[in-house]
Structure 1
């Protein structure tokens, strides 16, 4: 039987626990993608675990022994360095604090010591323990909706026990990589004008034009409402300037830098494209964030041209840039068409399993 132990970050606390989880998560994604540039840094995880007005993150280990330990505020035994020798899996939990206050989001990872190699049988007990922990958290926290995000090899994949525990596959996105040099395959012209600015939206030194802040806030709110999420239960985020600036401050604090591409039609912002790079990551790699065009302006090549303009500018700013990572809804015809045009390679999929 496996037992849930909760990591409690403290000033001056050991880095072994966060490092152990980051190593296991990186090994897992590299086994799936086969790419050395895949993964997550311990510093990024440590930042995620810091207090935030937007969400609370909690790291759990599932261990094979049950030593005497102090009990946390949530009622679980606390996790210490000595417990890492008996850890078989990890559950990284996120609790949204502004919207989706009925939701628990979680990511499951096998510990590196027992992680199955590709093609080997998947151990069942860690999955059963993780699903039991989510049920317990749901009851203790009064959050009846559980969303478990599982990254796996491209295509469909069903982890042990999730269907029996009452979960259904609510959404799937694919992760792909493509070379920046392939941008020439995308159209450069479209019935729109483009600008690429530093920072997330208006978290920058650039002075916004008349009504731009309102237009950009409205665009982000529309993306939150309309972006494909399958059957996932998610509240719409009502974006305003304060929230945009808060998001920019969090990104900067986590060691990230962003460029934002904007598409204008008749002087009005109708689309955006986020390009992000983290200082702790390989300098040749960037990530595509949100790419969104208002529905009434789709089908005219604006999204593809905006993507080309944004990444071309990113290459100018970050001279070492060679490869872009992106995630997109697996069943989106538009996204798949653009990825085919870029000769992108799907390296992994992530399925969101939901129980309510």
Structure 2
């Protein structure tokens, strides 16, 4: 008999067993798809003003053989939640993943969430597998993205030519920082963050615009500092002093060899100046300067985001997986 139980993330032994299941279940994927233990040990028990988290485990006797994760936004999109299920490779096809998802749906519905979202990762150009599992449980594909990886040695080899072709436009300047936005740019930075969901291609995902104020940004920054997650950020400052664009690369103290792009966004009023390329160059340069041991950076872009895909291709990113963003109405 397999029991499905909610876990206390502050119970380190239970958290480690949960983490080990997720690591084993994702080991077949390229790159580093599962966070380092030290990051999970710090991040999952920590208070998060942006996101509520529930961990569940499938336990057979004294062994954890399945791990479930439910996250839900706490500031906006209060109708939505994200669910993920992982099963030990030797125990797959026994209904454990189905049982985990069913329990996550109960938790989400109990919290008033009406839209459940998830993701599956496939080799480029393939279908089936996890996607078929999700479809059989009522999930539909709402958006399609490419997960891309940049080897930093490839970036360094082409960096100077790319910088020469995309200089910072006249009148603009680039400001960089580690995680904590300078006070003088904070209000304008908040305005730009509030545009993100309206500007990023979301396909059929049931998400609405978010609102950011200075208190919300500062609370999110404090959490990142507390868990050792660095958001190396570049802002494009327009001639009138407004924040015209933003991009970041995120790196954890627990694993300084791998990073990921968080967001890249240029205000529509300032597009057409190649600010996206200039911002990405600034963040990748900052990452290399601060973390010389950095080996790779990942990013994900919707297939329809032609401009950003072109920028990333020019930097040297190459597709390693297809990401299907899934959605189900509860």
TM-score, scaled to structure 1? 0.80
Cα distance in 2 for partners of 1:149, 1:255 equals 26
**Equivalent residues in 2 for 1:214-225, closer than 5 Å:** 214-225=187-198
Cα distance in 1 for partners of 2:270, 2:36 equals 38
2:221 corresponds to: 248
**Equivalent residues in 2 for 1:272-351, closer than 5 Å:** 272-281=246-255, 283-351=256-324
| RMSD, aligned CA | 2.5
Q: Are the aligned partners of 2:69 and 2:104 in contact in 1 as well (CA < 8 Å)?
A: no
Deviations 1:198-228 (A, max 9, x none): 23352xxx452xxx32221111101133222
1:271 corresponds to: 245
1:23 corresponds to: 20
Structure 1 unaligned segments of length 5 or more: list them: 66-81, 116-122
Cα drift, residue 252 of structure 1: 1.1
Q: Are the aligned partners of 2:56 and 2:100 in contact in 1 as well (CA < 8 Å)?
A: no
1:139 has 2:112 as partner = no
Sort the Cα spacing of 1:112 and 1:19 in 2 relative to 1 into closer, same or farther, 3 A: farther
**Equivalent residues in 2 for 1:74-85, closer than 5 Å:** 82-84=62-64
1:191 has 2:149 as partner = no
2:147 corresponds to: 175
Cα drift, residue 105 of structure 1: 1.0
Deviations 1:254-285 (A, max 9, x none): 2112221111232322100112210101x333
1:76 corresponds to: none
Cα distance in 2 for partners of 1:110, 1:185 equals 46
TM-score, scaled to structure 2? 0.86
Cα distance in 2 for partners of 1:141, 1:153 equals 34
Deviations 1:142-181 (A, max 9, x none): 3221112223333454434432332211123322111231
1:92 corresponds to: 69
Cα distance in 2 for partners of 1:64, 1:29 equals 20
SS in 1 for 2:247: strand
Q: Are the aligned partners of 1:173 and 1:350 in contact in 2 as well (CA < 8 Å)?
A: yes
Aligned residues, how many?
318
1:39 corresponds to: 34
